Amino acid sequence: MIRFGLDRLLADPELRRPLAGKRVALLAHPASVTRDLTHSLDALIALPDLHVTAAFGPQHGLRGDKQDNMVESPDFFDPQHGIPVFSLYGEVRRPTATMMDRFDVLLVDLQDLGCRIYTFITTLRYVLEAAAKHKKAVWVLDRPNPAGRPVEGTLLQPGWESFVGAGPLPMRHGLTMGELARWFIATLKLDVDCQVITMEGWAPDAAPGYGWPIDERSWVNPSPNAPNLSMARAYAGTVMLEGTTLSEGRGTTRPLELFGAPDIDARKVIAEMQAFAPKWLAGCRLRECWFEPTFHKHAGKLCNGVQIHVEDPTQYNHAAFRPWRLQALAFKAIRRLNRNYLLWRDFPYEYERDRLAIDLINGSEILREWVDDNTSRPGDLDALAQADEREWEETRRPFLLY
């Protein structure tokens, strides 16, 4: 049986003993729940030996109140527990000195999706840096990486750091939040008291979940458009759709598992993908579909699109499925079918106004330039990505806890 870091901390008074007499704060979101689905804030405050004095919420809020992307959350006072709840996705994204003065130890209980662009990773970096500056302790209550251990994508290049790019990680990094904390501390050379309350029984290579304990734990959305394990598996590719004019399915019941637009021919796109780089389609099934988003891009318009299916146990191959390459291939197919298609979306993205969103998402211009170059071949992108993937496999090795 698997036990998450939170569950171990709640069950074991000895683990909590160093927190005696300390002011404790919690950084959490909607998926920060116990096995019985009690929110971690409620569960921790109920402990008589713990003094919780503040809470923090990342993007989308502590309780998950913001449905759309890039919508800020305000600070507020929790009327039930009588503590301030500070937003790290509002007026500030780094905790201020006033916020840091409210606690001695920060518990970080965030469910990640295993993708560099997921902003909870950047928030983890920022609170570690603030803790080092203000001499506070951080405890990471570890949770599974639902995308498992596979690594994919080019590394974020120097100078491309942003709120969706916390450091030189590939798109799919294969680490837990606890392991990421260890990597951040070493990479940034932080002098900070950081402990990881590890999981017990996590088996990232075991079917059918390959990272998520599918037969033991309920899925709770860590953000509003992360509704299931299928989305988590596809996300390292489909998140790139945020930098395009294509709908990523926001405003539908299958966000970030599909893509489309009113003016594409999905059958032709799939056929072109199969012709150009068939090996990049391994491990999943693609299906032509039609959908009408209720909000966000192409709201109220009928879109022709493609859904990525990764839940069929007879077809899903965890080791072979490469969502980043798959989505890059879809962009390439659309570009090959129509050289003039308006693919890249030019708009302010996660507090950045001077660089294209697709480049911020990828941490460089490499992928966009490969898509737009009419002479480029699959092997060109593959060679760059494989070199970075091998490098990251070695880089992350010392930080693995499981």
The CATH number for 289's domain is 3.90.1150.140
**pLDDT per position as a tens digit, 326-336:** 999 999 999 99
**Structural domain contains residue 62:** yes
What residues have CB less than 8 Å from 360, skipping those under 6 apart?
A: 160, 162, 164, 165, 243, 349, 350, 352
Are 219 and 240 in the same domain? Answer: no
The pLDDT confidence band at residue 226, using thresholds 50, 70 and 90, is very high
Residue where one domain finishes, among candidates 223, 258, 290: 223
The pLDDT confidence band at residue 65, using thresholds 50, 70 and 90, is low
**pLDDT per position as a tens digit, 285-306:** 999 999 999 999 999 999 999 9
CA distance 84 to 72: 17
Are 174 and 241 in the same domain? Answer: no
The number of domains in the chain is 2
**pLDDT per position as a tens digit, 92-141:** 999 999 999 999 999 999 999 999 999 999 999 999 999 999 999 999 99
Range of the domain at 170: 5-223
For the chain, the distance separating the N- and C-terminal CA atoms, rounded to the nearest angstrom, is: 15
Tell me, yes or no, if the pTM score tops 0.75. yes
Are 265 and 209 in the same domain? Answer: no
Please say if the pLDDT value at position 314 is more than 90: no
CA distance 144 to 65: 23
53: Cα within 13 Å, side-chain hemisphere: 14
Q: Which of 47, 323, 37 is nearest to 172 (CA)?
A: 323
pLDDT at 67 (0 to 100): 54
H-helix or E-strand spanning residue 99: helix 97-100
H-helix or E-strand spanning residue 328: helix 323-337
The residue length of the chain stands at 402
* Cβ–Cβ < 8 Å for 32, 61: no
What is the chain's mean pLDDT, rounded? 95
Residue where one domain finishes, among candidates 155, 190, 223: 223
CA distance 125 to 123: 5
pLDDT at 196 (0 to 100): 98
Are 53 and 199 in the same domain? Answer: yes
The pLDDT confidence band at residue 77, using thresholds 50, 70 and 90, is confident
H-helix or E-strand spanning residue 389: helix 378-396
**Structural domain contains residue 398:** no
The CATH number for 76's domain is 3.40.50.12170
DSSP state, 208? Answer: T
Residue 159: CB atoms within 10 A of its CB come to 7
Instruction: Name the least confident of 38-42, 344-348, 378-382.
Output: 344-348
